[in-house]
A and B are shown apart, each in its own frame.
Chain A
Amino acid sequence: MISTLEVIKAGLLTTVQDIPGRNGLRKYGIPTSGALDTHHAELANWLVGNPMESPLLEITLGNAEFRFTKGTVVGVTGGIAKLYVGDRSVQTNRNIKVEPGQTLRIERVTKGARMYLSVAGDWKLKKELGSCSTYRTAELGGFNGRELRTGDRIEVDVSGVKFTEKVIPKKLMPHYSQHQMIRVMAGPEWKWLTEKQQEKILELRFGVSSTSNRMGLRLNSKMALNIQDSEFSSVPVVPGIVQLPPGGNPIVLMNDAQSVGGYPRILKVADADLWRLGQVWQGNEISFSLIDRRGALELFDYYRELRASYLT
């Protein structure tokens, strides 16, 4: 049985994403894409009993509304936002039963930046180059390679879907504050900076620029960080790399970022903290806290085990 998700209001930017996105194509310049906040995307799929790699919606800043033609089970998590099924106020972070023809409305996000909407069942979307993730620059994946708009319809096979109450454990829910401390390790060109410059970068509170997007989080330093001799040929980069262009405003590369880049790679955000950047927005500030590679690996394993222990 098919339940069609109809878009009544799409919000600022709503796209289909999955985890882990596209792999094996970086040599052609095709990025990974996929959900920015993998932590909540996984939790959303867990809420509705879908496999972790199932497609779902990433809704930037909320302010979106959907209707389902048939009864189904959905999960909404991510930032903090009010949620309604029809006129009834419901909670995020738990699975929700939706009756045929009912609407699901997510109000504007008040903390964090992105909401994830999962729908139980099998999404009838064609994978492109190995993934359902939307990559708009190349009109790839998702719904016709683009963001969702009013009137768009996505079919989900809801056969066999059953509702058993599920709630995301409190221990797995982040505390959102206006200022986020992000753990990083030294990047290949960190040693190009003087000790003074390094200290400054680790002390600064960077503002998040309004030009940030799924390719990169652009940071404002308010102070000149200019480093000399930064002209060098393009080198490999991965999501989480912090580039420092000559202007001195760092860019943290995100999931839709390039495979190679020409700016010094001063830092690399720890994989364990990368998802947190999916929840920052202009007006937020971030600081970097330096750890070593071993520390980053341990942190990643720690969170993975923590998640696993609560989600059994």
Chain B
Amino acid sequence: MISRSLQIEQSEWQLIPLGERALVLEPVAEEPGLSVIHKICFLIEQSGLDGLTDVVPTYKCIALLFKESITDTGTITAKLSEIFEHAGDYTPRNDLIRVPVCYELGLDWDSMESQTGLKKEKIIQIHSGTTYTLAMMGFIPGFLYLEGLDNKIICPRKNEPRTKVPAGSVGIGGDQTGVYSLESPGGWQIIGRTPLNFFNKDQDPPVSVSLGDRIRFEPISEEEFRKMESGGNS
């Protein structure tokens, strides 16, 4: 069930089923980049589709979740095609957010060093010397997936995920870096912890950062970490 293709910003997209109640909108050929993904999400959320409950962006595709089983992709394709044709301009948010990280609280320095062939200090220097873009959220509430990791510090995920990763953990999973806002299971290599919390269920929206925001990590000592953590700084 692959429907006819859709066009936006010189890129071509197709809808692929993900089970009974979800579709994945993915590029036919080349990867169009995050700004196009974010724009499409914005457009679909603005217009809405019958029975649509969720629009979930990822690096390379977008999931559309529906309340009921999807039997007629033709109608959805036609509606999306209409939305894309009438698309106006979209300016993504790009606030700069500084995120303090205590790299001493990393859990996987041994595997990071052996996998990258670099010393811990060098990895920290590279990791904190880059400005990342908030590509998506997911996995757990407020988990920030950041684009822009330097190739030199790419490191595969762990073979068996940990059953417990502490809240605030900063990790590397393949060519991505990210922040665990809550304690949860997880398979990324943990290189540090931030005292910041990006998820608050009493806020609307419950996450304080937006797609497109720029993130920079700033090394702090364990003492500073403890102080900020107990101060409830978030």
| A residues with CB within 8 A of B | 23-30, 128-129, 137-140, 185, 187-188, 211, 215, 231-238, 240-241, 245-247, 249, 258-263, 265, 268, 270-271, 293, 296-297, 300-301
CB A120 to nearest CB in B, in angstroms, measures: 27
Complex-state Cα separation, A241 to B62, whole angstroms? 16
Contact of A231 among B21, B59, B65, B174 (CB under 8 A): B174
Q: Does B187 contact A (CB under 8 A)?
A: yes
**With A260-B145, A265-B18 already in contact, 8 other A-B pairs whose C-beta atoms are closer than 8 Å:** A23-B67, A26-B63, A26-B65, A233-B176, A238-B22, A245-B159, A258-B139, A259-B54
| B138–A259 CB distance below 8 A | yes
Task: Assess whether B221 is interfacial by the CB under 8 Å rule.
Answer: no
Residue of B20, B143, B159, B183 touching A29 (CB-CB under 8 A): B143
Residue from the list B140, B160, B174 in contact with A262, Cβ < 8 A: B174
A102 to B153 CA separation, bound complex (whole angstroms)? 62
**Residue B109, interface by CB 8 Å:** no
Asked if A258 contacts B54 (CB within 8 A), the reply is no
From DSSP, what is the main secondary structure of chain A's interface residues?
A: loop
**CB of B24 closer than 8 Å to a CB of A:** yes
> Among B75-83, B91-99, B201-209, B223-231, which stretch is in contact with chain A?
B201-209
Q: Is the CB of B20 within 8 A of A261?
A: no
**A268 and B205 alpha carbons, distance in the complex (Å):** 30
The verdict on A138 contacting B199 (CB below 8 Å), with A231-B157, A234-B138 known, is yes
Q: Which of A24, A249, A297 touches B54 (beta carbons < 8 Å)?
A: A24
**Residues on B facing A (Cβ under 8 Å):** 1, 16-22, 24, 41, 53-63, 65, 67, 69, 71, 136-143, 145, 156-157, 159-161, 163, 173-176, 182-185, 187, 199, 201, 205-207
Nearest Cβ on chain B to A285's Cβ, whole angstroms = 21
A262 B206 Cβ-Cβ under 8 A: no
In the complex, which residues of chain A have a beta carbon less than 8 angstroms from the beta carbon of B16? 188
**Neighbouring A residues of B67 by C-beta, 8 Å:** 23
Given A235-B58, A297-B71: A270 and B20 interface contact (C-beta under 8 Å): yes
Residues of the A chain whose Cβ atoms lie less than 8 Å from the Cβ of B156: 231, 246
* B53 contacts across to A, CB distance below 8 A: 23-24
B41: nearest chain-A partner, CB-CB: A27
B18 touches A29 (CB 8 A): no
**Considering the chains assembled together, what is the distance between the CA atoms of A29 and B178 in angstroms?**
13
- Which residues of B lie under 8 Å from residue A231 when comparing CB positions? 156-157, 174
B201–A271 touching, CB < 8 Å? no
Q: Is the CB of B58 within 8 A of A233?
A: yes
Q: Is the CB of B138 within 8 A of A26?
A: yes
- How many Å from the CB of B122 to the closest CB on chain A? 22
CA distance in complex: A247, B142 (Å): 27
Complex alpha-carbon distance, A249 and B160, angstroms: 9
Q: A15 to B96, alpha carbons, bound, how many Å?
A: 40
Contact of A268 with B142 in the complex, beta carbons under 8 Å: no
Q: What residues of A have a CB within 8 angstroms of the CB of B157 in the complex? A: 231, 245-246, 262
B22 — nearest CB in chain A belongs to which residue?
A238
Q: Which residues of B contact A270 (CB under 8 A)?
A: 20
Expressed in whole angstroms, the minimum distance between the Cβ of B191 and any Cβ of chain A is 17
Q: In the docked arrangement, what's the CA distance between A240 and B157, Å?
A: 22
A-chain residues with CB within 8 Å of residue B137 when the two chains form the complex:
27-29
A221 to chain B, nearest CB (A): 13
Please measure, in the bound complex, the distance between the C-alpha atom of A187 and the C-alpha atom of B16, giving whole angstroms.
11
* Bound complex: CA A261 to CA B160 (Å): 14
